[in-house]
Amino acid sequence: NDTFGHAAGDKLLKSVAERLRSFEASDVQLARLAGDEFAVLATGRSARDLHAIEALAHGIVEALASPFTIEGIRLTVSVSIGIAIAPQDGCQEIMRRADLALYRMKSEGRNGYRFYEAEMDERIEARRALTADLRGALDRDEFILYFQPIVAAQECRVRGFEALLRWKHPVRGFVSPGEFIPLAEETGVIIPLGEWILREACRIAAGWPGDVRIAVNLSPRQFRHSDLTQLVRSALRTSGLAAARLELEVTESVFLEATPAINATLSKLREMGVRLSLDDFGTGYSSLSYLRRIAFDKIKIDQSFVRDLPQERSAAAIVNAIIDMATSLDMTITAEGVETDAQRVCLLEQGCHEFQGYLFSKPLPAEQAAALARS
């Protein structure tokens, strides 16, 4: 729809429906559900004869594999099919379960079919339980911030720390942010949680010597559903931290919805004297246009590139290109995930300004970070 307009999108879906119609038979019924979703109801096949069911699914994928020509433009579509069988997968729940299988198929890369398995429901249940725990965790003081040093490349002196969130779950122990941050995003818990993170990070950093910086991660949702500038202003005022000591890290995913409001928020934050970092650079949506619209102070090279240095040529070439570009835009360049001295030397030679990684230090509890900041 974005590229060809609504009418063309509609024509494409009609052509898809047309091809699907060739599967219609006395025992195969078709329905268009909503948008680009279709339902196929096949009866009379025995659940023991999975081959017959697979053959139908396979046939549909094949039938839609060849390109469509819409208004003179060749288009290919990918097909994801989820399959649930009655009565073994339940009768009431057959559509919901086919849907679960469909979403699993989509997340596994599309263009194929997937049978429903009980494990899919178990995973949903586990997520639901974790979400319920997450909602109460803030009130129960189960979150804690760790701080990982960011060092100046030349003299290896600590310039600042990145605040990294940890969740001490009463039963499960430490839960990784990679697991619960996406969940907190989806459920909206990130709004109160993000506020806590920012206030806590500023409070702790205000106790460090005057030139040591604190970097705080922001989630895309914090831009859309809260008055971020107001929050940042309040966190700075309450803690007494100078704006210039606060760095806010955002990933490219913030620009997925490139609304003027997001640009305005980022500009306002910069005007307040807060520094902006572009996190995980190179892994995102590779549209460089936002670098022209928003003046970032810093770019963080993602650890996936650093990991393959110095041996892998493609990683070295990408890092080289990022550093060249960032240098010409006057940005500070930080490399993340530096684990070996060979990586450090390679990045230093290429012109990187700051390092962060296990070679220097793992994320530390607040007291240890404070001691390091003062040393």
What are the residues binding Ca ion (CB under 5 A)?
Answer: 36, 217, 249, 279-280, 336
Query: 164 is in the binding site of which of ligand C2E, Ca ion, none (Cβ under 5 to 8 A by kind)?
Result: ligand C2E
Residue 333's DSSP bridge partners are 299
Among 101, 120, 137, 165, binds ligand C2E (CB under 6 A): 165
- 176 or 230: CB nearest ligand C2E: 176
Gap between the Cα atoms of 59 and 41, Å rounded: 15
Provide long-range contacts, Cβ within 8 A and 24+ apart, for 119-128. Answer: 121/97, 124/100, 127/183
Tell me if 239 contacts ligand C2E by CB under 6 A.
no
- 89 or 162: CB nearest Ca ion: 162
- 133 or 200: CB nearest ligand C2E: 200
- 14 or 225: CB nearest ligand C2E: 225
Among 337, 344, 350, 352, binds ligand C2E (CB under 6 A): 337
Tell me if 303 contacts ligand C2E by CB under 6 A.
yes
Residue at shortest CB range from ligand C2E = 357
- Provide the minimum distance between the beta carbon of 362 and ligand C2E in the complex, in angstroms, as a whole number: 7
Gap between the Cα atoms of 323 and 299, Å rounded: 9
Among 90, 112, 177, 207, binds ligand C2E (CB under 6 A): 177
Kindly state the number of chain residues that form the binding site for ligand C2E, as judged by CB under 6 A.
23
Among 80, 148, 343, 350, binds ligand C2E (CB under 6 A): 148
Tell me if 142 contacts ligand C2E by CB under 6 A.
no
Taking the CA atoms of residue 170, residue 171, residue 173 and residue 178 in that order, the dihedral angle to the nearest 10 degrees is: -100
Gap between the Cα atoms of 76 and 244, Å rounded: 50
Considering only residues 20-79, where is the footprint of ligand C2E by CB under 6 A?
none
Considering only residues 208-227, where is the footprint of ligand C2E by CB under 6 A?
217-219
Angle at 182 between CA 181 and CA 186, to 5 degrees: 115
Tell me if 197 contacts ligand C2E by CB under 6 A.
yes
Rule CB under 6 A: which residues touch ligand C2E?
148, 163-165, 176-178, 181, 197, 217-219, 279-280, 303, 336-339, 356-358, 363
